[in-house]
Each structure stands twice: as structure tokens, then as C-alpha cells.
Amino acid sequence: MLDSTTAVRAAAEPAESKVEMELFNIGMTFSDVSVLRDVSVKIVGGEIHTLMGENGAGKSTLVKIISGVQQPTSGTMTIDGEALTLMSPREAEAHGIVIMHQELSLVPEMTVAENVMLGHEPVRNSIFIDRKSLREKAKSALARFGFTLDVDKPVKDLRVGEQQLVEIARALLMDARVLIMDEPTSALSQTEADILMEVVRDLALEGVAVIYISHRMDEVFEISDKVTVLRDGDMISSKSVSETTPAELVEMMVGRSVEIVSVERKTLPSAQVVLQVEDMMLKQGDRILLEDVSFSLRKGEVLGIGGLLGAGRTELLETLFGARGLPASGQITINGNHVWPSTPAAGVAAGLALITEDRKGNGLLLERNIRDNIALPLLPLKTRFGLKSPSMEAVEAKSAIEKLRIAAQGPDHIVGRLSGGNQQKVVLGKWLATNPNVLLLDEPTRGIDIGAKEEIYDLIGKLADSGLSVLFVSSEIPEYLAVCDRMIVLCEGRITGELTADEMSVESIKELAMRFE
């Protein structure tokens, strides 16, 4: 979690010598396919320079070139006026270029402290790692940025948002001259994201050049000095943020006008209650994660579950699905039947489907094709004599591609080669193939671009119109306003209030989310 008292910091004096990085006509080609063409941009110390574009626009390739992961096929890069050829990330770090990846690069079995200090471990007698010093330095690094985590806890036991804090602390510890931050707030709540914004501003004031990648338009205009937009490998524009507008940026990114508004619903939720939760309590050791949680979900309704990171949103969805075993107490009723899912298989049998917040870690087999991924939850349901049916799998995959408009060459398309938005559609497709009564969505738009988000919002509305009931969790408050018919808000594992669509606003949601703070 984050300590909100660190959000206000004394402004640092700008560094006397600011780093200056320039890219001239950078191009990148893979197997005769051009993914970057003549990209030229200037990055200056003390500025926050946001890089925007849809998935597949070339952002990741450009970042890999800047950080030494790949070498461009054309063009040059200079730092402080000197030509620079980076052959590895280690070389980039030697020049003060550090990247904080969106896809976490942590070691799950190692502790928070070991991950924060990875590659920079203090040693004794030039041989042995100084464990005491390692823990103290990790605590100090986390405290510097207001992060309060148990440094002895294995990273695998942390929530995705907490893991992202570890990734952030590790990157910030390296005293970068150029810091690349790839979607750093994608798993953080608005409050935690606000605090991180202060950290980024302080780094810029210290003279660090920050390359900030984000799909969140509010962040771009809150924090950026300049913004560069890529589309299909071409640089469309590079200008001061004060010279543009959100609508103009979106149009440059997608090549058309896009306006995210409330999803238009063709039908209203019925009065029929599909899911009833009464007095649910969940414990982890002596810690209470959920307490006296009660609510109902109607047929065709999209019900938002709001709250800050650690409020219990994910724990609630996982408990309903059976991913956390049985709750300590309470009652779950689906379509009039009392159920107690103690495993995900039991959750599926009860008519539930969970789209997790970490689609790449828990939702997909990236190296396998669409057909194999769609078939995963169907294996216990549609195998005969323990044998798979390739023809059935192909039919299900083709149906998902068509209904969800997945941009792929066919069922044999490798999932890892799809854009983030299309990967998320594959996750939806595999669970929709189980014909659930209740769809549990945990951060369904995390890390995908604005055009893909628009499609996901529209899809959620259509699923609800078809009679599917949806529980929806997001770290972006505007998403609740766009897709939800109603919402409940959690704080410290307890429900602090319920809001109808007319009552929902950024202010009302934030007030309920922080009621116990």
C-alpha cells in the first residue's frame, strides 16, 4: 500500500546539468515488415515526455531501442550530443537509462526486499550478500516513495497492484538520468496513482528525463510537459501538452474521432436476482479481508465494485469464484440455489466466470494459439473418454473470433502476437464459451489502448443486454460511469455505500472509497 502522507513533498531544485537525448530518423524492420519509420524526437532532463499510441503503434519497439534491448535498422541516437549505440540493457543502465516495464519482471519466489535490490545487493567481504543491509536498504527505498510493504513477503503472495509498487521502487532506486515508465499506474487505484504522480514530478524537478507511457488521458494532461503520438509505426506528432486537447490526441492515435461516453443499453436490468451475497466474511490468518459484505445482482445488470487498492475488490471476486476456498462465513445464492464454490471448477459449475486482473499471468497461455486458449475451461465439460475434440475447439474459437471481433488470422493465431485488447477478448471468449450466468470482470481494460477500451465497454453493454449479469472492478473511476448500472464501494473490506447510475460521480465514489481512512 501507499502512505498518503508522502504525497506532498518539498520541491527539489532542478539539476544543474540536464541530460539531453535525441533520436534521429529511427527505423526498425523485422523480416521485411517495417514497424518504425523515421521517428525523430528530443528528450530533455527535467521534462515529463509522454509517449502515446494504440497497441501495435510502435511504442514498445521504440522503448526497446532506447533501453538497449534492440538495435534500430536505421537512424541514430545521441545523449548529451554524443552518438550512442546500445547493445544491451546493461549498457543503457551504464548511461543512466532505466526502464520500468508494464509487464512485471519480478522473481516470484524472492521476497520484496530481494526484488527491490536485485542486481544491486550489498555484500560483505566482497563475497556474501549482507542480508540485514539488503532489508534496510529495501525498506528505505520503499519509504522514500511512500510505499509500505512487508519486505520479507514473497512477491508471488502480493496482489498485482502491490507487485507493481515493487517494480516501481526497484526502477526508481537506480538513480536514472532517463527513466522510462511503461503504464506505471495500470494496476493502481486513483489515489495511489495520484501519489505516484508526485514521485514522478519530483524526479523531473531533480533533472531526470521521464519518458512516460500511458493510455490514461487524464494522466497525460495532469503530468506531461510534452507528448509524442505514434500510429502504425509513424510519428504523427510531437508537441507541448498545452498545445493539444484530449480529443485531438485520440484522433491522432486511432486515425478517427473517438468519444468515450456512457454505454448505450438497449434493455434495462430485470427485477430477477441472479446472485445474492449475504454477510460474507473472509479471513487470511488473523487479518479480515472482507467483513459483512451483502449485495444482490440482477439479471442483465452491470454492478460496479469500487474501492482503493487493498479494499477487497479482487478478494471478493476470487471468493465468489472459488479461487480462495470457502469464506469464513456468509451465504452465496445463485438463481435461488445456495452454493459454496471452494474451487474454480466449482465456480464454473455454479455458473460463474472470472476474468482476472493479470491476463498474461493467469488468463492466457501466450505461446499457444487462440483455439487452445478458448478450449481451456471447456476441457472438463466437452471431452469424451478423456479425449479432446479438435473440431469442437475450432468451432468455439471461430465463434469467439467472429462474435468478439478479434483481429486475428484465425484459430491458429498465437495469442502472444495479438494486441493487448485482442488478448483480452480471447480471455473473454474462453469464459463466455462456458455459458456463465455471472461474469466477474477484474480490471478488464488494464494496459489496453483507448480504442480497444471503447470496444470492451461496448461488449460489456451487449453482454448485459443479452441477459448476462456482470460484476465490474476497475482502477479508473470514469469506467464505472461509462458501463455500470449501479455500484457498491468497499473500504477496508466493508461496504461503505451504494450508488445508482444517477448518483455516481468521481467525487461520490472517492468519498465512499476513503470513508474509513
User: Using 50, 70 and 90 to split pLDDT, how confident is the model at 516?
Assistant: low
User: Using 50, 70 and 90 to split pLDDT, how confident is the model at 515?
Assistant: low
Least confident of 115-119, 315-319, 345-349, 373-377: 373-377
pLDDT at 430: 85
Q: Which of 15, 17, 10, 49 is nearest to 206 (CA)?
A: 15
- pLDDT of residue 170 exceeding 90, the answer is no
CA distance 399 to 411: 10
26 class by beta-carbon count within 10 Å (0-12 exposed, 13-18 middle, 19+ buried): buried
**What is the overall mean pLDDT for the chain?**
84
pLDDT at 65: 93
- pLDDT of residue 220 exceeding 50, the answer is yes
- pLDDT of residue 260 exceeding 60, the answer is no
The tens digit of pLDDT for each residue in 184-202 reads: 887 666 666 777 788 889 8
pLDDT at 17: 61
pLDDT at 327: 74
CA distance 478 to 505: 8
Per DSSP bridges, beta strands 209-213 and 178-182 are parallel
Position 370, amino acid? I
CA distance 11 to 150: 28
Q: Please name every residue paired with 496 in a beta bridge, in sequence order, or none if there are none.
A: none
Position 112, amino acid? V
pLDDT at 261: 58
Instruction: Provide φ and ψ at 27, rounded to 5°.
Output: -135, 150
Residue 304 near residue 480, CB atoms below 8 Å: yes
Complete domains list, the chain, with CATH: 273-351+436-513 (3.40.50.300)
Residue 212 near residue 48, CB atoms below 8 Å: yes
Comparing 151 with 102, the larger pLDDT belongs to 151
- What grid cell was written down for 257? 474521432
pLDDT at 12: 38
Instruction: Provide φ and ψ at 125, rounded to 5°.
Output: 55, 30
